[in-house]
Structure 1
Amino acid sequence: MTTPTEDLSAAGVSIWLDDLSRTRIETGNLQELIDTRGVVGVTTNPSIFQAAIGNKDDDSYDAPLAALATAGADVDTAIFEITTTDVRDAADIFRPIYDATGGVDGRVSIEVSPDLAHDTDATIAEAVKLWAKVDRPNTLIKIPATKAGLPAITAVIAEGISVNVTLIFSLERYGEVIDAYLAGLAQAKGNGHDLATIHSVASFFVSRVDTEVDKRLTALGTPAATGLKSKAGVANARLAYELFEQRFASQTAVELIAAGANVQRPLWASTGVKDPALPDTLYVTELVAGGTVNTMPEKTLQATFDHGVITGDTITGNYADAHQVFDDLAAAGIDLADVTQLLEDEGVEKFIASWQDLKATVDTALAAAPETTR
């Protein structure tokens, strides 16, 4: 007998945990999830670090923050040191998986400051700084797919740095992300980098699309609108995979792959179900296809392990249905372009808010360090 997570891995989906904390690392919990749940990577974001460092029941950050206070570190320096240390230590735990998979998995992501989401040059500079600080080849630097983020993606890839492109909501923006990646690879090749060492994932958000679309469908209140609820997120992701297949079959992509480049794998993010009326494994079981990543909160991971039903590829045979959902949404008056732009804007704003909360938490901790240690 196999477990559902084993079945998911066998279907070609890489299971990454959407969470990280020093306690997970130090207690062996992260290694346990690797051993028992098939976890082969980790993603982080400002909200995750805020939850970890701000957790009053977790004292694993007390000593390092006190040491940083003693050293006279300011808030930004303390956050940089704490988060890069966690990512480096997690990367070391995943290194055997990275080696065994030729760099495909065993990845740990760390995000540039969300304050920089609309500043191309500052994003590039921080991505380079984070890559050098963590100093592990199995790191991915997360860059948001804002308009300012697109040229930053190209520039960072051109430096030979592996990138996780985050906060992708629309098919149009996803196409621009693929273009940015391919342009970066072409520049990296010209710069003399080994293309085989550069990896990337494109994080396509799922549940947030349903949350916003369903709110608008509820407001419409018609039977047709009601019948479309909870279909947009999966349809959007399935059409993203269709676009992935098309764009990486282009002449430009094929030539780069022949030169050693890797495809930019689709990653399903925001896979925790927000609506309690929906199956809690919906955004896992309905988004199965080879060469994808599903990054899950632990609750979703455990639900999948416990009762997920993996039936093989649930994406590539459903493109026609996904297109029909889009047509029906448009006919009902749902402006998906407006939905996805709103979600991108809100996504950046939420991460900025979490970042500010994190800075306040760390500032308080630094100030509270015993005077005798400073």
Structure 2
Amino acid sequence: MSENLKRLTGQGVSIWLDDISRERLRTGNLEALIRDKQVTGVTSNPTIFASALSKGDAYDTQLRDLSVRGVDVGEAVRAITTFDIRWAADVLRPVYDATKGVDGRVSIEVDPRLADDSAEKTVAEARALWWLVNRPNVFIKIPATLDGLPAITQALAEGISVNVTLIFSLERYRAVMDAWLAGLEGAKANGLDLSTIESVASFFVSRFDTEIDKRLDKIGTPEAVALKGKAAIANARLAYAAYEDVVNDPRWQALEAAGARPQRPLWASTGVKNPDYPDTMYVDQLVTAGTVNTMPEKTLDAVADHGNIDGDTIRPGYEQAWNTMAELKQAGIDYDDVVKALEEEGVQKFVASWDELLGTLETELRKAG
């Protein structure tokens, strides 16, 4: 077992795998990662499922059955994805039990085409996934769009555990935390056991650097270029500072006294996009207790091999983070425009991934028929 991964979990960071496939499940690979690589959770998305479906024969029997039954592609995608999520939830159930429900979690995403649609539709989709998976250790992923915020509140108020995804801006993150608190307050008013309702807030990291680096290159001054690769870490650290403000607020403390548990910050998109950057930077530089880092396996292996885990790297970096943000503004970076572009692009990518999944599934159903 890697000493680096032991050190990371020893600092209070939960390691989750940003991948799932039936092949991983049937071969025992996920169990091995739990045993050997400190993995305590799994996140999924439509791109991951599309990739899994297009490789190997793990889905052949179910695809043939679905084809024989003549189900439409919408029903088929839910049948296949929820099967895998249930299986992964069962594999992770011992972790869930050992951590009293904090970890051992598996995330499945609502139809991303609803991201800018009505909250009512998103909540209906969240309920359907919650019922279909029917495991206490599932997270329903809801995007943090403006239309997603009331859906987050409603889902939590009904006792549905939520992974809030697609967060880029500090302002939106604060709105997410407000939606989370309102949801817990609703759950309390509904007489629910708050200790059974978990949530994480997925703050996207590497995409932030990708977008800002592109703009810094366009500006082209030495001062601008020197700031490349610094924005994402700074943004994430300031997100954690915002989180600390909320958990020190009497509003949260009243819920905590009633049995509620924190909405942990989750660092998502932690695979490095720029090969010039250290491949573990979005792990090494975002270490503090009570957080989650969901990694693609390549990043997990890199951290295990040569990660530099050396204590808390978030709280001591607050002043540096504020300075970086001020320098970016001075260089000509419009933060509000950056996060707006990233959210719009993120929703478009989610929808494109969903369409890819549906297309892949249609192809596989025809082949199975």
| Length-normalised TM-score, structure 1 | 0.97
| Aligned positions of 1:240-251 closer than 5 A | 240-251=239-250
Q: Distance in 2 between matches of 1:7 and 1:252?
A: 33
Tell me, yes or no, if structure 1 residue 353 matches structure 2 residue 352: yes
CA distance, structure 2, for counterparts of residue 363 and residue 215 of structure 1: 36
Distance in 2 between residues matched to 1:88 and 1:341, nearest whole Å: 35
Q: Distance in 2 between matches of 1:81 and 1:232?
A: 40
Give the Cα separation in 2 of the matches to 1:157 and 1:25.
Answer: 29
User: Matched residue of 2:164: which SS?
Assistant: strand
- Per the alignment, residue 130 of structure 1 pairs with 129
Instruction: Measure the CA separation in 2 of the matches of 1:329 and 1:247.
Output: 26
CA distance in 2, matches of 1:255, 1:60: 48
Cα contact 1:272–1:297 (8 A) shared by 2: yes
Does the alignment pair 1:51 with 2:51?
yes
Which residue pairs with 1:326 in the alignment?
A: 325
In the alignment, what sits opposite 2:84? 86
Alpha-carbon offset, residue 49 of structure 1: 1.0
Instruction: Give the structure 2 partner of residue 277 of structure 1.
Output: 276
- Structure 1 stretches of 4+ moved >4 Å: none
Query: What's the CA shift string for 1:115-163, capped at 9, x where partnerless?
Result: 1111211100000000011000000000000000000000000000100
Counterpart position of 2:200? 201
- Percent same amino acid at aligned positions? 60
Matches within 5 A, 1:235-274: 235-274=234-273
Higher deviation after alignment, 43-52 or 234-243: 43-52
* Distance in 2 of aligned mates of 1:319 and 1:46: 35
- 1:353 is paired with a residue whose SS is helix
Q: Distance in 1 between matches of 2:14 and 2:199?
A: 14
> What residue is the counterpart of 2:10 in the other structure?
10
- Cα deviation 1:93-124 (Å, max 9, x = unaligned): 00000000010000000000111111211100
Contact 2:2 2:305 in 1 (8 A): no
1:60 corresponds to which residue? Answer: 58
Equivalent residues of 1:164, 1:201 under 8 A apart: yes
Contact 1:54 1:358 in 2 (8 A): no
Q: Which residue of 1 aligns with 2:115?
A: 117
1:359-370 correspondence runs (5 A): 359-370=358-369
Code of the residue aligned with 2:23 in structure 1: it is T
CA contact under 8 A between 2:2 and 2:37: conserved in structure 1? no
| Separation of aligned partners in 1, 2:248 and 2:115 | 30
Q: In structure 2, what is the equivalent of residue 24 of structure 1?
A: 24
CA distance, structure 2, for counterparts of residue 44 and residue 360 of structure 1: 18
In terms of mean alpha carbon deviation, does 361-370 or 194-203 score higher? 361-370
Q: Is the 8 A contact 2:16 2:40 kept in 1?
A: yes
**Contact map agreement 1:214 1:229 (CA 8 A) in 2:** yes
Letter in 1 for 2:84: D
Q: Is the 8 A contact 2:50 2:361 kept in 1?
A: no
Paired AA for residue 66 in structure 1: R
Q: Secondary structure of the residue that 1:166 maps to in structure 2?
A: strand
Distance in 2 (CA, whole Å) between partners of 1:336 and 1:113 is 28
Superposed displacement of residue 255, structure 1 = 0.3
Which residue of structure 1 lines up, in the alignment, with residue 101 of structure 2? 103
Whether 2:39 is the aligned partner of 1:39: answer yes
Aligned partner (choices 51, 74, 77) of residue 75 of structure 2 = 77
Distance in structure 2 (CA, Å) of the matches to 1:52 and 1:348: 22
Aligned length: 368
State the Cα RMSD in Å: 0.9
Task: Measure the CA separation in 2 of the matches of 1:203 and 1:302.
Answer: 21
Distance 2:225 2:362 in 1: 47
Distance 1:266 1:364 in 2: 38
How many Å apart are 1:51 and its aligned residue?
1.2
Cα shift at 1:2: 5.8
Q: Which runs of 5+ in 2 are unaligned?
A: none
State the Cα distance separating 1:337 from its structure 2 match.
Answer: 1.0
What's the offset of the Cα at 1:300?
A: 0.1
Q: 1:238–1:316: 8 Å Cα contact kept in structure 2?
A: yes
Aligned to 1:156: 155
How far apart, in 1, do the equivalents of 2:178 and 2:103 lie? 23
Q: Describe the superposition over 1:234-291 as per-residue Cα deviations: whole angstroms up to 9, x where unpaired.
A: 0000000000000111111010001000110000000000000000000000000000
**The residue matched to 2:67 in structure 1 has which SS?**
helix
1:70 offset after TM fit, Å? Answer: 1.0
Aligned-partner Cα distance in 1 for 2:253–2:346: 33
CA distance in 1, matches of 2:264, 2:40: 14
Task: Give 1:297's aligned residue.
Answer: 296
Higher alpha-carbon deviation: 67-76 or 181-190: 67-76
Q: CA deviation at 1:54?
A: 2.3
> Letter of the aligned partner of 1:35 in structure 2?
R
Residue pair 2:156, 2:162 contacting (<8 A) in 1 also: yes
